Structure 1
Amino acid sequence: MTSCPCGSGRGFDDCCGPLLAGAAPSSPEALMRSRYTAFTRADLDYLETTLAPEAKEDYDRAETETWVKEAKWDGLEIRSTEDDQVEFVARYKFRGKVFAHHELASFRQHEGRWMYVDGVMNPRPTQRAVEKVGRNDPCPCGSGKKFKKCCGA
């Protein structure tokens, strides 16, 4: 049994193999892993059938075929999964250069199956907003005192 290219640590026959053969993915992460595996195997039919209808409008099969056949895949890292989104990094070499494809991918169910909708390249983490309180501003604790004489002391 060969290990699955998706990096799950399971064998291909127990992981992405059944999905590439037609089984329905159980989650967005399972679909993401199986799509990565399809890229490594140049399984263009699977890549196309797992696209949501609106995503197929921009799909160029010939361009994808050229890309997947020339790329040498080096691994998939799932960074996070939340609801219908998966953040991942796929590493590969293409025409002698090393690349890391970092994406926050969105999925949705269509006719009972998970489908890839779209993705945001190189997503940025959400920035925390911190309110800066001046020394002479009213204290945010609500005491009515100046910040410097209350919590800022």
Structure 2
Amino acid sequence: MAKKAELCPCGSQVSYKSCCEPLIIGKSFAETAEQLMRSRYSAYTKGAMTYLYETTHPSHRAGYDHDGTKEWAENSDWQGLEIISTKDGSPDDSIGEVEFKASYVGGDGEHVHHEIGRFRKADGKWYFTDGRMAGQMPLHVEKIGRNDPCRCGSGKKFKKCCGA
């Protein structure tokens, strides 16, 4: 097993050099939809925007915001990828779905991006086509200070009410 510092960001427990790096630098291509999903997550953590664009299916590239994607990726502290499930997407398939959760800290706090990504194989290569949010949208909870009024409406300070 590789040292923690060398592990691939995708969570495979394999070194980055032997996992996602060969895909991102173009030495090889993803064999499955899940492998492409994992490499795309690693690309976000490494700031490899060209790879993200090139692995998006050509018919889904219209409106791709290269600069916005780069800014978001670089201003996020990527915490991990969890693959929930895969549907199809093997080397013999032409379409696939990967449900995943990507955790990151950015902007206003901690976030979990829970998506079902769709993938299509064209000319022997897997591409990301689109995705939809899965499950409930994450809640953004504003922190309450001890001396702030309690949110329950009692009129008491939080520390003397629900925070007791």
Instruction: Place the TM-score, normalised by the shorter chain, in its bin.
Output: 0.7 to 0.9
Cα 1:54–1:123 shift into 2, 3 Å: farther
Q: 1:20 aligns with which of 21, 24, 44?
A: 24
- Residue 54 of structure 1 and its aligned partner are, at CA, apart by 2.0
**2:129 aligned residue:** 117
Greater radius of gyration (CA): 1
Where does 1:100-111 land on structure 2 (aligned, <5 Å)?
A: 100-111=112-123
- Counterpart of 1:140 in structure 2 is none
Task: Return structure 1 stretches of 4+ with deviation > 6 angstroms.
Answer: none
Question: What aligned pairs does 1:53-72 form with structure 2 within 5 A after superposition?
Answer: 53-72=58-77
- Could you tell which deviates more after superposition, 34-43 or 52-61? 52-61
SS in 2 for 1:26: coil
Q: What is the aligned residue count? A: 124
Query: Which residue of 1 is the match for residue 54 of structure 2?
Result: 49
Unmatched segments (≥5 aa) in structure 2 = 89-95, 137-164
Identity of aligned residues (%): 40
Could you tell me the TM-score, scaled by structure 2's length? 0.73
Offset at 1:17? Answer: 1.0
Match of 2:7 in 1: 3
Q: Distance between the aligned counterparts of 1:110 and 1:118, measured in 2?
A: 15
Distance in 1, matches of 2:117 and 2:83, equals 11
Aligned residue runs from structure 1 range 79-90, under 5 A: 79-83=84-88, 84-90=96-102
Per-residue CA deviations over 1:69-109 (Å, capped at 9, x if unaligned) read 10000000000011100000000011241110000000001
Q: Secondary structure at the match of 1:59?
A: coil
CA drift at 1:58: 2.6
Is contact 1:104-1:123 (8 Å) kept? no
Supply the RMSD in Å over aligned alpha carbons.
1.2
